[in-house]
Structure 1
């Protein structure tokens, strides 16, 4: 997934915006989201600010997609030559805040500038289906979810995955918003985070990214609130670049051998169990190790998120690491060595077979 970001720059000096773009560009950002909805016809200064920002972003190799509406199009006299005006403004895509007529959108997708028409991926798929049936140029269609400033109004998991899967199946570039925890500004006064998916709202940004990586449904993740701090940005970019999924965990006094197994590279085995995620490569790496049974953990049943390692009594399974998905009675052949941190239990719902993962101690 590529990195994108959002800006709401009209209250700040232009140089401040340029410096922010520089930082994001240095970390590999390739996309900028802007909203032009709030620009009035008499706001020539504001209009120029946005145009300068778009052109500066373009000079840094960042493509810009802007939210526009029929009201904006009429107010700024873009109606008759919409794509020419968007091209002159420096836009790579336009996101339609309110839908135009189907035939008009279809025609827009065949523009000579290669400007993309971005659809709202958070509501329903009727518009997408109608456009495809009308002969729209699929290469110039994109999907992007909404963000939700108001707590508890973000998308449900079921609807989010359903809508995202539709765009993915049609091989249409799709974007999703994540929320920075070091930034608080969005387009509206309400500041309660700006995620697409409600259950991501208060999570660390690197965990948000790993959840979206697990789905395999998105081409771009866009930081929705502006002025993300560099430390958090670096953490975000590191997660985007790493094919591993990261679980943070609390140890239960593992031995040196068990610690080495915990710190190994892991892969979710492909034959799925209801009860555990299995990582079996450590069985080969530690085939000659002594993994003595340990019964000091007075736990009668395992719990979701518990980390176990099979001990000497499990013979050929010795050294296998498992993450418990569903509680089962504790076995003397299994050593309990830790537990996934509560914040990271959500990843167990998303991780898929064959995905690589690593375990890191909670700091």
Structure 2
């Protein structure tokens, strides 16, 4: 399943011209979906229609897929029947995210709506919600999953719970989404906004690291910025994230030589299948560069978790093998050539047997 990046808009409290500029910037950078909250609208059906259709229409012109976040109360506020989604189709939406569950039978029935709107389920509950819907035989290609975001500091999901919730959807082949937090964004659906991540550990991390982590779990297909407006730098950083393998940002050692630089940056790295706890080994490169000299340097101190080392001329057949240190050790037969940035050390847990990875 192809992976995507997206953003969030809040038409009930945002400025249309700012929304336009934001969409244009993101569209040029490869963003392709929009999450749009309708949870805080008033009861003027026509005013709501004008406001949302204007923004949705412009997003659609730029090629975005648009999902509206709704709850059962929205139907009452707008005088809309659960059995007729025409209003949302006429707005131009592609799908509806159900912030609050119905009775499972209703979700299954909604997925057969004649307008082709996908139905996006709330993923942030570790219960058999999806299983129950599937027993009612929904239109499976039109069932998506999307986690919540959490405006209050300290209330977002812990990692183990997030994984358990997400696995319920991923094992069924359902498209999944989760939110990352912009450090610049101040706009969200509520008056409290300490950021809008799905995972609490992401709240203060750089936006690209958050996205790398979500993609590295292999449980999330779409990464969406929860708050608006992300800075230009954040938009670009997120657009440059490798969505299909971990691409570590590293600090290069001052003493690195040409062969080590080539090994680092000019190769597809693969963790050896028969793994070790001490380090992640990329062994194919030692064969490619077996005839290149590599004198010892930066090899006297202790190597610690996240250090990147390459075998030097003292290492015999293991010369020019690349390793990422997992457990602290010393070995003069290895040169330290760089270090993974501290914020990305959590990504090491996702380099499994035969995992592919890169450096930049």
Q: Check whether TM > 0.5.
A: yes
Q: Deviations over 1:249-303 (max 9, x none)?
A: 352633443344333324132312211111123212321222233476343xx32
Please name the residue that 1:8 is paired with. 10
1:248 aligned residue: 250
Contact 1:176 1:196 in 2 (8 A): yes
After superposing the two structures, state which structure 1 stretch, 177-186 or 332-341, moved more.
332-341
Deviates more, 1:318-327 or 1:222-231: 222-231
Whether the 8 Å contact between 2:253 and 2:336 is mirrored in structure 1 is: no
Distance change in 2, residues 1:214/1:296 (3 Å): closer
Q: Secondary structure at the match of 1:239?
A: coil
**Given that residues 83 and 110 in structure 2 are in contact (C-alpha distance below 8 angstroms), is that contact kept between their aligned partners in structure 1?**
no
Equivalent pair of 1:247/1:357 in contact (CA under 8 Å): no
The residue that corresponds to 1:288 in the other structure is: 291
| Secondary structure at the counterpart of residue 291 of structure 1 | coil
- 2:347 maps to what in 1? 347
2:328 alignment partner in structure 1: 327
Q: Given the alignment, which residue of 174, 177, 185 partners 2:179? A: 177
Cα separation, 2, equivalents of 1:184 and 1:53: 19
Once the 2 structures are TM-superposed, how far is the Cα of residue 335 of structure 1 from its aligned partner?
Answer: 2.5
Where do 1:88-237 residues align within 5 Å?
A: 88-237=90-239
Q: 1:15 to 1:256 in 2, by over 3 A?
A: closer
Change (3 A) 1:341 1:102: closer
Distance 1:109 1:216, change over 3 A: same
The whole-number CA distance in structure 2 between the counterparts of 1:338 and 1:17 is: 41
2:311 matched residue in structure 1:
310
**Number of paired residues?**
357
Change (3 A) 1:13 1:306: closer
Q: 1:241 and 1:305 mapped to 2: Cα distance? A: 21
- Between the aligned partners of 2:178 and 2:349, the Cα distance in structure 1 is 19
Structure 2 match to 1:239? 241
Deviates more, 1:201-210 or 1:13-22: 13-22
Residues 186 and 225 in structure 1, CA contact (< 8 A), matched pair in contact too: yes
User: Could you tell me whether the CA contact under 8 Å between 2:304 and 2:325 is conserved in 1?
Assistant: yes
Match of 1:75 in 2: 77
- TM-score, normalization: structure 2? 0.91
Is the CA contact (8 Å cut-off) linking 2:75 and 2:82 kept in structure 1?
Answer: no
Q: Deviations over 1:75-132 (max 9, x none)?
A: 2111154322221222211112221222222211222222111111111242111111
Aligned to 1:338: 338
Contact map agreement 1:307 1:321 (CA 8 A) in 2 = yes
Structure 1 unpaired stretches of 5+ = none
> Contact between 2:120 and 2:144, CA under 8 Å: does it hold in 1?
yes
* 2:189 aligned counterpart, secondary structure: coil
- Distance (Å, rounded) in 2 between the aligned partners of 1:279 and 1:121: 36
Query: C-alpha separation between the residues in 2 aligned to 1:34 and 1:226?
Result: 11
CA–CA distance in structure 2, aligned partners of residues 270 and 238 of structure 1 = 27
Deviation at 1:241, TM superposition (A): 6.3
CA distance in 1, matches of 2:257, 2:110: 64
Whether the 8 Å contact between 2:7 and 2:224 is mirrored in structure 1 is yes
- Give distance in 2, aligned partners of 1:23 and 1:154: 28
C-alpha separation between the residues in 2 aligned to 1:172 and 1:75? 30
- Between the aligned partners of 1:277 and 1:5, the Cα distance in structure 2 is 34
- Superposed CA RMSD in Å reads 2.2
Would the aligned equivalents of 2:255 and 2:298 in 1 still touch at CA under 8 Å? no
